[in-house]
Amino acid sequence: MASDMNDYFNKKKSEGGGFKNSNSGNGPKGPQIPNIDFNFGGGKAALIYVFIALVVVLILAKPFTIIQEGERGILSTNGKYQDQALLPGLHFIVPVIQKVYTVDTKVRIINYAATHSDTRSGRNSGIVAKRAVTVLDKRGLPVSIELTVQYRLNAQFAAQTISNWGFSWEDKIINPVVRDVVRNVVGQYDAESLPMIRDKVATEIESGLRKNIASLKNSPVLLQSVQLRDIILPQKVKDQIERVQIAKQEVQKAEQEVQRAKQEALKKAAQAQGVADQARIEAKGKADAITINADAQSKANLIIAKSLTTKLLQLEQMKVQGKFNDALRVNKDAKIFLTPGGSTPNIWVDTKDIKRRTTAK
């Protein structure tokens, strides 16, 4: 088809020198259409074909790679890893000769749980589930430890880590170290004591993991955190702990009863002491009152005794005699007994009524 078109334009050129302007005559000429050579034969076509083929080959060979944030690229040239990992961004490589392996440097998690079996289904999401770490305690009883370990690949030495440990570096570094450290820590204690020293066990496990991982060459892994989630004991150990707890509760209850009884006894003793003190105070008050009264009476008597004279006593006797005289006027049958000196009372007796007596002081 190209050959036919070429012949057609050559013929037109020979006839009229190419396309003519639509304005004929002596008028101004319109824009001229340049002559076009449609001869695609020869070396030019070959170069175009080679260029197109080269572009297709480059596209299919993909001589570049893009590293995302949170990743590093491990460049392999003829099977040998480059020491420095590729940073995030666009990188060009030589197809076939060079190849880039992408590794994840974001935080990753391994959950050691009793209700899950080993699985790699969550590897791409950064979360891996494994069986709980089952170890023996100090007496040989099995104990299961549930952990959550957070870590990430050290981006600075990612290439060396892949070169030394391979792409399964997690199973070669993290998992064996975790199980070994947990075994050494838990093996120091009895199973029944583990729940009571939970914080201590968690601290020792994390310290042991950090120490072991930090001792590895080039620090391949950066440990973020270690969380002790649960300590699963054998059923007979759980039963024994429950019995011990019940016994302790009974002892505490008995101690509380004893303390309550002591407090009640102290309360009653205090009350009795208070009553006794009150009675003693009251008795002392009464005794003091009697003493005071007696002292007052004694002093009064002493004062009276000192004030009495013979003439005063005779006067008092005359007063009494007058009272008797008055009585005799009313009752002429009365008999009067006079005691001289006034040491004893003067008595008069009604003879009509022997039971009736009057005593005057």
Q: What share of the chain is helix, strand, coil (3-state, %, to 5)?
A: 50, 20, 30
| Residue 281 confidence (pLDDT) above 50 | yes
Q: Taking the model in full, what pTM does it have?
A: 0.54
Place of tokens 């004694």: 298
More confident call, 21 vs 206: 206
Task: For the beta carbon of residue 313, count every other beta carbon within 10 angstroms.
Answer: 12
pLDDT of residue 254: 82
pLDDT of residue 296: 80
| Residue 39 confidence (pLDDT) above 60 | no
Question: What average pLDDT is seen over the chain?
Answer: 78
Q: Which tokens go with 149?
A: 């370990």
pLDDT of residue 360: 46
**Average pLDDT rounded to a whole number, residues 137-162:** 92
Task: Provide the residue count of the chain.
Answer: 361
**Average pLDDT rounded to a whole number, residues 8-28:** 47
**Average pLDDT rounded to a whole number, residues 143-152:** 94
Q: Which tokens go with 98?
A: 């060079």
DSSP character at residue 233: -
When pLDDT is cut at 50, 70 and 90, the band that residue 293 belongs to is confident
When pLDDT is cut at 50, 70 and 90, the band that residue 207 belongs to is very high
When pLDDT is cut at 50, 70 and 90, the band that residue 180 belongs to is very high
| Residue 343 confidence (pLDDT) above 60 | no
pLDDT of residue 139: 87
pLDDT of residue 122: 52
Cα–Cα separations (whole angstroms), residue 234 to 19, 54, 331: 102, 69, 118
Cα–Cα separations (whole angstroms), residue 57 to 66, 99, 358: 19, 16, 161
Longest Cα–Cα distance of the chain, Å, equals 207
CB 73, CB 162: distance < 8 Å: no
More confident call, 247 vs 77: 77
Instruction: Give burial (CB, 10 Å; 0-12/13-18/19+) of 112.
Output: buried
| Residue 348 confidence (pLDDT) above 60 | no
Alpha carbon 215 to its chain centroid, in Å, reads 31
When pLDDT is cut at 50, 70 and 90, the band that residue 132 belongs to is very high
**Average pLDDT rounded to a whole number, residues 218-247:** 84
Q: Which residues contact 188 (CB under 8 A, 6 or more apart)?
A: 138
pLDDT of residue 257: 84
pLDDT of residue 25: 44
Cα–Cα separations (whole angstroms), residue 284 to 95, 271, 290, 295: 119, 20, 10, 16
Strands (E), the chain: 64-67, 71-77, 80-81, 89-92, 98-104, 108-113, 127-131, 133-136, 142-153, 221-232, 334-337, 346-350, 357-360
pLDDT of residue 338: 60
Q: Which residues contact 36 (CB under 8 A, 6 or more apart)?
A: 9
More confident call, 157 vs 59: 157
Q: Please choose, from the candidates 204, 149, 142, 156, the residue with its C-alpha nearest in 3D space to the C-alpha of residue 171.
A: 149
**Average pLDDT rounded to a whole number, residues 250-259:** 84
pLDDT of residue 291: 83
When pLDDT is cut at 50, 70 and 90, the band that residue 31 belongs to is very low
Cα–Cα separations (whole angstroms), residue 290 to 54, 286, 293, 297: 138, 6, 5, 10
Q: Please choose, from the candidates 64, 209, 67, 218, the residue with its C-alpha nearest in 3D space to the C-alpha of residue 148.
A: 209
pLDDT of residue 337: 62
When pLDDT is cut at 50, 70 and 90, the band that residue 14 belongs to is low
Compute the radius of gyration of the chain from its Cα atoms: 64
More confident call, 356 vs 296: 296
Model confidence pLDDT, tens digit, residues 86-101: 999 998 888 888 889 9
**Average pLDDT rounded to a whole number, residues 173-183:** 93
More confident call, 337 vs 154: 154
